[in-house]
Structure 1
Amino acid sequence: MADHKIDELPQEIKEQLPQHAQQIFLAAFNAAQKDGLSEEGAREVAWNSVRNEYEPGKDGKWQRKPEDPPIHNKAITTGGN
């Protein structure tokens, strides 16, 4: 599968993933193939890239993961000498 455009993605991927996730999948897949990975290896890289930002919902469609709340750690500094 030499995908270069979203409309060339397999139907099952288009049905499962929202447009932004499809863009992530495609970019990762194409980059992995350019790096010399096999189609199977490129698919694995692409799915891992999608999993970084999306997760499967109960309906089988992928949805964006909730953002982690920012953690503010206040640095403690002491005076010099």
Structure 2
Amino acid sequence: MPYSSTRQLPDSIRHVLPAHAQTIYEKAFNSAWDQYQDKDDWRGDDSREKVAHKVAWAAVKKDYQKGDDNKWHRKH
């Protein structure tokens, strides 16, 4: 279930992340989706989709952090 655009991302992601972070999320999710086709590559009992979401969030957190205002901001 890769995403063909950021418009397809879940509302819970689109409504909290800035546009650039959404792009990072989409690309990381799609890459992880392709990479973790084989269940032997997954950690624990998580589904392929859950693994891909975890990877995507990790990618976003490399460049963005949640501020005191509870919004995501690019790291300096």
TM over 0.5: yes
Bigger Rg, which one: 1
1:14 shift after superposition: 0.8
Aligned residues: 66
Q: Provide the residue aligned with 1:42 in structure 2.
A: 52
Which structure has more relative contact order (CA 8 Å, sep 6+)? It is 2
What's the RMSD between the two structures over aligned residues?
Answer: 1.2
Q: Provide the residue aligned with 2:42 in structure 1.
A: none
TM, length-normalised to structure 2: 0.79
TM, length-normalised to structure 1: 0.75
Listed as ranges, the gaps of 5+ residues in structure 2 are 38-47
Which structure has greater helix proportion? Answer: 2
Listed as ranges, the gaps of 5+ residues in structure 1 are 67-81
Runs of 4+ with deviation above 6 angstroms: none
Matched, 1:19 2:19: yes
